[in-house]
Amino acid sequence: MLPQSDRISHGPPSRLLVLSNGHGEDQIALRVAEALHQRLPELQMAMLPLVGEGEAFAIAEARGALQRLGPRQRLPSGGFSNQSLHGLGKDLVAGLLLLSLQQWSWVRNWGQAGGAILAVGDLLPLVLAWCSGAPFAFLGTPKSDYTWASPPPSGWGKTPLSDAYHRCKGSEWDPWEWRLMRSRRCRLVAVRDPLTARGLRRNGVKAVAPGNPMMDGFADSNPPTWLQERRRVLMLPGSRLPEALGNARRLLAAVEAWSTRATTTVLLATGQQPELRTWANLMHERGWRREGLSRAESQVGASACWRRGAIQLLLGPGRFPTWAPWSEVGLATAGTATEQLVGLGIPALSLPGPGPQFKASFARRQSRLLGGAVRPCHTPQELAAQLNLLLGNREHQHRLGKVGQQRMGPSGGSERLAALAAFHLLG
């Protein structure tokens, strides 16, 4: 029995604290918060990113839709201290324990002052929300029963003990997490897909799957005519430095090993970092020739252009939502962005490295989650060969794309989640 009492607050809360614990979780929290702001403009919303500074919230904060409050700090692992002892050690030296204590105390004070909480992520925000004493809703974003119910990709090993453990539970979530979700103060539990919701309901958690906010916010448009006339490959090296640059080197090695005579544009979608000079140095080191941007290329948001043989590469900071639907295949070493790309019906190939995020174990799990719509490769040469096969088989592309769309679900989840939170938590 847990020692914390489940006290119930009275009256609809007028203040909402949103907890999120990761880059992808920040993006999901932002979409739900913006939908809540449209529905309840008088609601005071505060965002506490438990990992990093929460840069994803900056634009909405400038508009006055929300505020970033509470203790925040960028840690060396980028939120992946659970992936390795080395990463955990670096975070501990940088002040992880003190930061966690400060965040716990701050959330407790929020709950005692009568505010409600929306927790987005996994165990950490769930525990903090429960410890606050406040009414809360939980949006469980990273875990899916597909990761153990689907077979691993060929050649990437099996995890029989882990799979057996999850089969015994009937859920990716663990018993201590079920207990927190069954709290009387937990007014809503929403997860990413119906399969996962069903597993939780079998264990006494009234979970729902109203839709996946990750699939909201994409432009529904066709590529411009000049781009339709060539092969289109989207490259996603990830957003965390310095890992993203190492990922980019491996993906570029695969593109360089790819033997194609077809006119091809590689759309390199990045975050705002690293800056253009860093990319220019990397491309120069690898022997790509810098070219000036045409008017058409500038109009689609490209900030720089390089060429190698028949392959043109366009750099586009912040262009992922626009460029993703234009691509035929993705080359991806990202987390959330890879899932979103596959959810748009575009299959991907991945190339795991040393991490801290995109390691072999992460790539294997991601492939299982997405039903094989993203295929991990061991070497740049293997990826180049698979890229040839995938681009040469439209039927296979379409089949994998359908699997990805089914696993990720349709758009509109943010609105539905906002409606549920407004009714169950804030009504």
> What pLDDT, on the 0 to 100 scale, is given for residue 75?
65
Domain span(s) for CATH 3.40.50.2000 in the chain: 15-216+411-424, 225-408
Strand ranges for 299-402 from DSSP E = 304-308, 311-317, 329-332, 348-350, 374-376
pTM for this structure? 0.89
SS3 418: helix
Convert the pLDDT of each residue in 203-251 to its tens digit: 999 999 999 999 998 877 889 999 999 999 999 998 888 889 999 999 9
Distance from the first to the final alpha carbon of the chain: 30
Q: In CATH terms, is domain 15-216+411-424 a member of 3.40.50.2000?
A: yes
pLDDT at 100: 84
Q: What is the pLDDT of residue 90?
A: 62
What is the distance between the alpha carbons of residues 195 and 146, in angstroms, rounded to a whole number?
7
- Collapse the DSSP code of 116 into the 3-class scheme (helix H, G, I; strand E, B; otherwise coil) and give the result: strand
Token pair for residue 181?
């979700």
> What is the pLDDT, as a whole number, of residue 39?
94
pLDDT in tens, 87-112: 566 666 555 788 889 889 999 999 99
Class of CATH domain 225-408 = alpha beta
pLDDT of res. 9: 44
Residues with pLDDT less than 50, the chain: 1-10, 81
* Residue 278 neighbours by CB under 8 Å, 6+ apart: 245
- In this structure, what token pair is assigned to residue 66? 């929300």
- What pLDDT does 8 receive? 42
